[in-house]
């Protein structure tokens, strides 16, 4: 399952349209469409917002980890830290994962490279 398919799945499970999800995240419906069709990758802050909204780890959205059970405490979270805040190490890890994911996406052909 691709990141876009995971976003679409969770959006549907939440009962949200692409437009409604875009409004919650402060992006256009077209951005949501591009994410879900794997034509674009959300920025790190949007990935974090998606993970919080859907209650899944950023790594699950990226396809590199399974979601933890809701009753399981997050071992990566510092004791006493707010669930809304990422540590610097978590932010760095999310950025590194996103960079690797984006680098692995197929590159579109340059303009004018298509045969006519």
Walk me through the domains of the chain, giving residue ranges and CATH numbers: 3-66+84-104 (1.10.260.40)
Confidence of residue 68 (pLDDT cuts 50, 70, 90): low
Residue 77 or residue 30, greater confidence: 30
**24 vs 83, higher pLDDT:** 24
Predicted local confidence at residue 116, as pLDDT = 53
Burial class for 71, CB neighbours closer than 10 Å (0-12, 13-18, 19+) = exposed
CA angle 38, 39, 40 (to 5 degrees): 90
Is the predicted pLDDT of residue 83 greater than 60, yes or no? no
Which position has the higher pLDDT, 83 or 30?
Answer: 30
104 or 1: which carries more pLDDT confidence? 1
What is the tens place of the pLDDT at every residue in 93-111? 778 887 877 777 777 777 7
Task: Indicate the burial class of 116 (C-beta count within 10 angstroms; 0-12, 13-18, 19 or more).
Answer: exposed
pLDDT digits (tens, 9 = 90+) for 2-46: 999 999 999 999 999 999 999 999 999 999 999 999 999 999 999
- What pLDDT score does 63 carry? 86
């Amino acid at each position: 399952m691709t990141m876009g398919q995971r976003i679409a799945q969770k959006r549907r499970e939440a009962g949200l349209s692409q437009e409604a999800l875009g409004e919650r995240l402060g992006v256009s419906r077209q951005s949501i469409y591009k994410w879900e069709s794997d034509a674009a990758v959300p920025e790190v802050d949007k990935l974090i917002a998606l993970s919080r909204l859907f209650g899944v780890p950023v790594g699950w959205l990226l396809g590199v980890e399974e979601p933890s059970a809701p009753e399981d405490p997050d071992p990566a979270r510092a004791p006493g830290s707010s669930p809304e805040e990422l540590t610097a190490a978590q932010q760095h890890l999310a950025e590194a994962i996103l960079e690797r994911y984006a680098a692995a996406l197929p590159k579109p052909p340059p303009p004018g490279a298509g045969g006519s």
